[in-house]
Amino acid sequence: MHGIIDAHIHLSERKDDMLIPYARLNGLGYTLRELLCLMEQQGVAKGLLLSPPLQSGGPLPNEEVIDLCRKSNGKLVPILTAEPETGAIRAAIKLAQENRENVRGFKIRLGYVNAYATDPIFDKLYDFAEVEHLPVLFHTGDTATSNGSLSRSHPLTLDTLANERDALTIVLCHFGNPWLQDAAELIYKHQNVFADISGLITGRGRYPEKYMGWVIERIGEAICYAGGADKVIFGTDYPVSRYSDALTLVERLGITEEDRENILWRNASAVFRL
């Protein structure tokens, strides 16, 4: 099989990284060295690196994401976070232009920022992404903080954007969890909409096996509803989820081997041009 592509990874070298507690919960060191070792052990050929949130409420600066990717010897490629501010949008586009050979998309943190996906502030970003054939990833579903906005992160908020911009490749992060069926409808309805399965297994909880079974059943139903797994993309959300849990989820889906490979690498390879 072709090497796995992990389409949703976080990392920083900062003590104010808000994902450190998730890493500790999962028994992870949350370092570049550890990540690269895990990727090697699990047969992960390439990973997309996204900014983790910082204690300030903002994301890790995109420049630091690019620097970490440079240190990875080609194993990691950057996804740039675009905040809903004119200056931030302009800076993200400029950085993408300067690193055209490496940048593989943008991320918008729906639910954590005071904007919907259809906010006009993002128009220039979408225009650029369409011309450059760069996917835009959107946080969808549950938020890691209690003050997040579920009304802005609900996957169905992206239906209007997908209708208006059929040339824009849209990726729903976390499969819209817990609105998995709504995400399934979006990937079924829209040719340009995909969904990753990152961060669906978090920590250990009180009923880990029952929850794992629930997620597997819902994702399996979503794949059946969508008519196949050609719109589903593998991701861990490291360090929020462990590789062992994320890969077990895929292994236990009642799907064909071809669809399993679609999820693990083939879809991401096409969408992100890897």
Burial state string for 102-139 with b = 16 or more CB within 10 A and e = fewer than 16:
ebbbbbbbbbbbebbbbeebbeebbebbeeeebbbbbb
**Average model confidence (pLDDT) for the chain?**
96
In this prediction, residue 208 carries a pLDDT of 80
Q: Please give the tally of structural domains in the chain.
A: 1
- Domain coverage including residue 74: 4-271
Give 164-197 pLDDT, tens digit per residue: 999 999 999 999 999 999 999 999 999 999 999 9
Rounded to two decimals, the pTM is 0.96
3-state helix, strand, coil in the chain (%, to 5): 45, 15, 40
pLDDT at 207 over 90: no
Give 42-59 pLDDT, tens digit per residue: 999 999 999 999 999 999
In this prediction, residue 116 carries a pLDDT of 98
Backbone angles phi, psi at 6, to 5 degrees: -95, 105
CATH code (residue 257): 3.20.20.140
pLDDT at 204 over 70: no
Give 63-114 pLDDT, tens digit per residue: 999 999 999 999 999 999 999 999 999 999 999 999 999 999 999 999 999 9
In this prediction, residue 166 carries a pLDDT of 96
Question: Can you name the residues that pair with 6 across neighbouring β-strands?
Answer: 47
In this prediction, residue 146 carries a pLDDT of 86
In this prediction, residue 90 carries a pLDDT of 98
In this prediction, residue 1 carries a pLDDT of 58
Structural element, H or E, at residue 188: helix 180-189
Give 9-45 pLDDT, tens digit per residue: 999 999 999 999 999 999 999 999 999 999 999 999 9
Rounded CA separation 164/107 (Å): 19
How many angstroms from the chain centroid is the CA of residue 115? 19
